[in-house]
Amino acid sequence: MASSYKEIFKGTAIFGGTQIIQVLVGLIRLKLVSILIGAKGMGINSLYTSSLVFIQNFAGLGLKDSSVRNISIATSGDEKLIAHRLTVINNCFYFSYGLGVVITLLLSPIMSMLSFKCYDYTINYGFLSLYVLFQLQFQHYIAILQGFRKLKTLAIISITNSILGLVVSAGLYYLWGVDGIVPNIIITSLVCMVCVRIPVQRMKLPSTKLSIKESLREGKDMVSMGIVLTISVLIGTGVNYFINTIITRFGNVEDIGFFQAAVNITTQSVSLIFAAMTADYYPRLAKVCDNREEMISTVNKQSEVLFGLGTPILALMIVFSNLIIKILLTNEFLVIVSVIKLLCVGSLMQIFSYPIGHISFAKGDKKFFFFYEGILSSFLRLILYSIGYIYGGLIGLALSVNVTNLLYSIMILFATKRRYQYRIGTRLLLQYICVVFLFYVLIIVSFQENIMVSFLLQIIILSLLLIYSIKYLDDRIGIVDFIKNKIRK
């Protein structure tokens, strides 16, 4: 029992350690970007990327995620099987390259009008077709490395790309300011693609001769699951884009920048524990998803480790959000202190639902996955986020994130129980409920007028949460002994 928890923690530690470096670099980058191009520049960047990611996800056909499973299965066979599977996957990706570039070029004037209410940015979107191409190539090579479990290589690439992205962004924004946004998007994606392509080429992978048409026909199962994933992601991306237009219509571009900054800070704070999900948790779950008891055990253990790691991180974010903004951003962004605090609660709810939401994809249950991940979650976000911002501004938007995540968590829990007989541990469920309650208490206390009393109460609650989390993890993975051994070394 303990060894399985330690295996989960080990996978989380490998990618989490890498993610810590990425987070630090990302926060430095966020600080520099906020200084060099401000909230308006960040809003413009968000408008560009949200529309381009929509096309990228459509053209990608969901191949990145669906191909990882196919490559992993093929590695247990002979070299001919590996060569055949890789050729099918490669040709499918080549098709997606061309599709992405063509769609971007054709839709450039439409995206310019929708995003900026004029055609002045059409040429910019045309150049950004290169970004779509490089991103699809990046996904292609990453899928190969993940399929062959090149974990150390993936870790090195992640760190390298983060640092190079920081250097490129800082240099271009320093030289050109807002005018450097488009060159930065293109050059950064090119650098990331080259960094991941080099180790893939060194692997000298086997291949065979197959036409793209034959590859698409043979890979129809992989592509069909990928298309379902793509449509789900496209709906989500489209919702994000529409929400941005709602904010622009009822507010301003600066609010997009403010909200994006809050989301970035909150997301990066927990990204170290989500980093292991795709590379470690998903393959493990896919192997045991046909055995109900093993599936339940795998999901619940993953949830427990994520809970133990996520609680202290998010609690620290709530208490020190003001200080974090002053260090990482500028005084212009102090208006998002409350937004960050509320988003931390939403992130804890996301930690709860994330492992459960993987079950349908691991099983290849296209209908279930599409309904809950593609339609239901996107519908909830569209309606609640829009209502939240229109009637409550940024605070209302942050509260709507929490309501959305809560409703989704409840729905996915009951749906997986009914369809797959999944059951969550009662104790784990109660622990999540208690911590969510304490998080809200922590937020309310932080706004007390008496600063000394407020700070003292926050420290008391934070200390209790930290002590509980350490005890929680120690019972499962021996975290105290692990830390002691690391210190002695």
Helix H, strand E, coil C: the string for the chain is CHHHHHHHHHHHHHHHHHHHHHHHHHHHHHHHHHHHCHHHHHHHHHHHHHHHHHHHHHHHCCHHHHHHHHHHHHCCCCHHHHHHHHHHHHHHHHHHHHHHHHHHHHHHHHHHHHHHCCCCCHHHHHHCHHHHHHHHHHHHHHHHHHHCCCHHHHHHHHHHHHHHHHHHHHHHHHHHHHHHHHHHHHHHHHHHHHHHHHHHHHCCCCCCCCCHHHHHHHCHHHHHHHHHHHHHHHHHHHHHHHHHHHHHHHCCHHHHHHHHHHHHHHHHHHHHHHHHHHHHHHHHHHHHCCCHHHHHHHHHHHHHHHHHHHHHHHHHHHHCHHHHHHHHCCHHHHHHHHHHHHHHHHHHHHHHHHHHHHHHHHHCCHHHHHHHHHHHHHHHHHHHHHHHHHHHHHHHHHHHHHHHHHHHHHHHHHHHHHHHCCCCCHHHHHHHHHHHHHHHHHHHHHCCCCHHHHHHHHHHHHHHHHHHHHHHHHHHHCHHHHHHHHHHC
Q: For residue 43, give its domain range.
A: 20-250
Mean pLDDT of the chain: 83
**Which of 217, 250, 283 is the endpoint of a domain?**
250
Burial profile 214-240: b = 16 or more Cβ within 10 angstroms, e = fewer: ebbebbeebbebbbbbbbbbbbbbbbb
pLDDT for 50 equals 78
Residues whose CB falls within 8 Å of the CB of residue 195, separated by 6 or more in sequence, listed in order: 157, 160, 161, 164
Assess whether 59 and 148 both reside in one domain.
yes
* Position 123 in a domain: yes
Assess whether 332 and 224 both reside in one domain.
no
Assess whether 114 and 245 both reside in one domain.
yes
Assess whether 465 and 418 both reside in one domain.
yes
Give the total number of structural domains in the chain: 2
First to last CA, the chain: 27
Assess whether 99 and 217 both reside in one domain.
yes
Burial class of residue 252 in the structure, from the number of CB atoms within 10 Å of its CB (0-12 exposed, 13-18 middle, 19+ buried): middle
* Position 15 in a domain: no
pLDDT for 409 equals 92
Assess whether 78 and 129 both reside in one domain.
yes
* Position 1 in a domain: no
* Position 274 in a domain: yes
* Position 295 in a domain: yes
Q: How far apart are CA 63 and CA 96, in angstroms?
A: 9
Q: pLDDT for 265-284, tens place per residue? A: 888 777 767 766 666 677 67
* Position 5 in a domain: no
Assess whether 45 and 140 both reside in one domain.
yes
Assess whether 220 and 363 both reside in one domain.
no
Q: How far apart are CA 194 and CA 137, in angstroms?
A: 9
pLDDT for 193 equals 92
pLDDT for 14 equals 66
* Backbone phi and psi for residue 291, each to the nearest 5 degrees, phi listed first: -105, 110
Assess whether 62 and 168 both reside in one domain.
yes
Assess whether 246 and 259 both reside in one domain.
no
pLDDT for 403 equals 95
Burial profile 384-417: b = 16 or more Cβ within 10 angstroms, e = fewer: bbbebbeeebbebbbbbbbbbbbebbeebbebbe
* Position 12 in a domain: no
Q: pLDDT for 128-184, tens place per residue? A: 999 999 999 998 898 888 777 777 788 888 888 888 988 998 888 888 888 888 999
How many angstroms separate the Cα of 133 from the Cα of each of 53, 76, 137? 11, 31, 6
**Which of 220, 250, 280 is the endpoint of a domain?**
250
For 362-370, the CB contacts below 8 A with 24+ separation are 362/282, 362/285, 362/286, 362/289, 363/289, 363/290, 363/420, 364/225, 365/419, 366/224, 366/225, 366/228, 368/415, 368/419, 369/228, 369/229, 369/232, 370/228, 370/231, 370/232
Assess whether 360 and 320 both reside in one domain.
yes
How many angstroms separate the Cα of 477 from the Cα of each of 15, 273, 470, 482? 17, 15, 10, 8
Contact 344, 332 (CB under 8 A): no
* Position 11 in a domain: no
Residues of the chain with pLDDT under 70: 1-17, 69, 72-78, 207, 212, 216, 219, 272, 275-280, 283, 477-489
**Which of 233, 250, 267 is the endpoint of a domain?**
250
Assess whether 204 and 305 both reside in one domain.
no
pLDDT for 386 equals 92
